Structure 1
Amino acid sequence: MSATFPFDSRAARKQMNQASEEGSVKIEARGQILLIAIDRPRKLNGFSAKMLTELAQAYERLEKDPSMFCGLLYAEGANFTSGIDLAKFVDKMARGQRALPFPEGKIDPCSLRRPFRTTPLVVAVQGICFTIGIELMLAADVVVAADDCRFAQLEVKRGIMTAGGPTIRMVERAGWGNAMRYLLTGDEFDAATAFRLGLVQEVVPAGTQFDRALNIAERSAAQAPLAVSATIENARTAVELGPEAAVAQIIPTQQRLLASEDAKEGVRSFVERRVAKFVGK
């Protein structure tokens, strides 16, 4: 006997297909690492509004879940991302709204406003990595690139300016001339150039970028989470407010850390000559 369902199966299939077409951002907890996957390979992992919302939710989970000690952002398929569907966002931009729908008061994946992410994030990129792909990787902490990467910040070719941070971070990492060489032309550059300019930290054979990024994430997750977060915060203070402001944080931050369970465990493991087991408290 065939099963019957109290709904229109064609409508359900259409709804499912539409959701599939819009893509998704998937998360998976692997031990103390939160895997964040961009999943729309048939569309070169181009970001839909739905995916941008889910990305922000994933970053919020990474920051707020005390069991997650590190994050790893990666993409399914042959490419990291071709960018966003610009035609669907220009009206918002013209009205003075941010193009990327990251909720106020929540973690911004591009790290352009508070609250900032303090949980470390590693990114693995491959194939096409355009516009928001560069913005996301520059807002992360460590980037592993496959040697087949093609990078481009294409906004000037569309009559607009990049809004996710490269005008700040590419200049900061690569220097004015090196950054403007690509920001003002929209030209593509390869993984070797990205490494030379300090935009990525390692270049590996295509197909191995995820495993290498996971190894780095695991090494970070094995350290004391409070100390790792404090390191990120102090470095960010130095970049934003200058060395003097960062120096002023050192003693009170060390005092706070030394009162933690993890610092006590760290000292015990040193004395006992064993690997420390940190709990994030």
Structure 2
Amino acid sequence: MTPTASTPPADGCIDTQVVDDHILLIGINRPAKRNGWTPVMFRQLAEAYTRLDDDPALRVGVLHAFGDHFTAGLDLPVVAPYLQRGEELVPAGLVEPYNYGQPGYRRRQKPMLVAVQGICYTVGIELMLGADIVVAADDCRFSQLEVQRCIMATGGATLRMSERAGVGNALLHLLTADVFDSAEAWRCNFVQKVVPAAELMDTTLTLARRIAAQAPAAVVATRLNVLKAIELGQAAAVADFVPVQKLLAASEDAAEGVRAFVEKRPARFTGR
């Protein structure tokens, strides 16, 4: 499918669209400037991520972009004054899209998929690494080029590139500011699938629909347990096994899962 786009203002916007009742499409909309990021776009993105978590009907988010490119990165002349003053671009109290646990911000609970195409620089890489599953078109060009501008990647690249690819591979791309392709992004585990550009949204939505068909509470619990193991260690994640499983097992969806198993049919989960 082709997501619906509004006519964006000069400083861009974030469009949202609900599909199949449970999937929130979140579209980066400033194609005339290669989706260069402005403060208003960051605020609207955080609001969209917050909507995903707060709406009980929504189960999965899909971040995508309008136009030929995912993003060329920050609109630096506009954003630089914020960096110089040390000001945050996302209002406190919202879900922070980079998802690395900044004080004063909420962390996303529900799964987020990302579909990237064309140029995907700096903040684009950090947003996809802060999500859960990334599908890349085979025409992508990636670059974490902050060092070329005498700034540091502070949206999570210094944390997650090494986590995904190892220290050497992370520093190869962080310190050289090189441009690399989708095959290299896949080699480094920055993306999980590479597909022809024409198949990008359909492939991503197929994955989103499959996740949305599962028991919502179990999806959230599984995602959070994986993150806890990465961030706090195996023991912290294992400590959640029994109490979380007890809560899940007492739900209506758990009973529906058993019925579906016995009746040999797909489960119809309600999120209760």
What residue number does 2:99 align with? 111
Residues 172-191 of structure 1: pairs in structure 2 closer than 5 A: 172-191=163-182
Matching of residue 24 in structure 1 with residue 18 in structure 2: no
- CA-based RMSD of the aligned residues comes to 1.1
Out of 103-112 and 193-202, give the one that drifted further. 103-112
Instruction: Please state how far the C-alpha of 1:95 moved relative to its aligned partner.
Output: 2.6
What residue number does 1:225 align with? 216
Instruction: Please state how far the C-alpha of 1:97 moved relative to its aligned partner.
Output: 2.6
Q: Residue type of the partner of 1:279? A: T
Instruction: Please state how far the C-alpha of 1:29 moved relative to its aligned partner.
Output: 0.7
Instruction: Please state how far the C-alpha of 1:106 moved relative to its aligned partner.
Output: 1.2
Instruction: Please state how far the C-alpha of 1:112 moved relative to its aligned partner.
Output: 1.9
What residue number does 1:59 align with? 49
Residues 1-281 of structure 1: pairs in structure 2 closer than 5 A: 20-31=9-20, 32-98=22-88, 101-113=89-101, 114-281=105-272
Note if contact 2:162-2:169 (Cα within 8 Å) is conserved in structure 1: yes
State the alpha-carbon separation in 2 of the partners of residues 246 and 110 from structure 1.
Answer: 22
Question: What is the aligned residue count?
Answer: 262
State the alpha-carbon separation in 1 of the partners of residues 14 and 77 from structure 2.
Answer: 21
State the alpha-carbon separation in 2 of the partners of residues 117 and 37 from structure 1.
Answer: 18
State the alpha-carbon separation in 2 of the partners of residues 105 and 154 from structure 1.
Answer: 29
Note if contact 2:38-2:79 (Cα within 8 Å) is conserved in structure 1: no
SS in 1 for 2:153: coil
SS in 2 for 1:124: strand
SS in 2 for 1:171: helix
Instruction: Please state how far the C-alpha of 1:105 moved relative to its aligned partner.
Output: 1.8
Instruction: Please state how far the C-alpha of 1:93 moved relative to its aligned partner.
Output: 2.1
Structure 2 unaligned residues grouped into runs of 5+: 1-6
TM-score, normalised relative to structure 1 = 0.91
Instruction: Please state how far the C-alpha of 1:90 moved relative to its aligned partner.
Output: 2.4
Amino-acid identity (%): 52
Instruction: Please state how far the C-alpha of 1:96 moved relative to its aligned partner.
Output: 2.7
State the alpha-carbon separation in 1 of the partners of residues 72 and 144 from structure 2.
Answer: 10
SS in 2 for 1:60: helix
Structure 1 unaligned residues grouped into runs of 5+: 1-16
Instruction: Please state how far the C-alpha of 1:161 moved relative to its aligned partner.
Output: 0.4
Q: Residue type of the partner of 1:23? A: G
Instruction: Please state how far the C-alpha of 1:166 moved relative to its aligned partner.
Output: 0.5
Deviations 1:122-162 (A, max 9, x none): 11000000011001100111000000000001100000100
State the alpha-carbon separation in 2 of the partners of residues 105 and 38 from structure 1.
Answer: 22
TM-score, normalised relative to structure 2 = 0.94
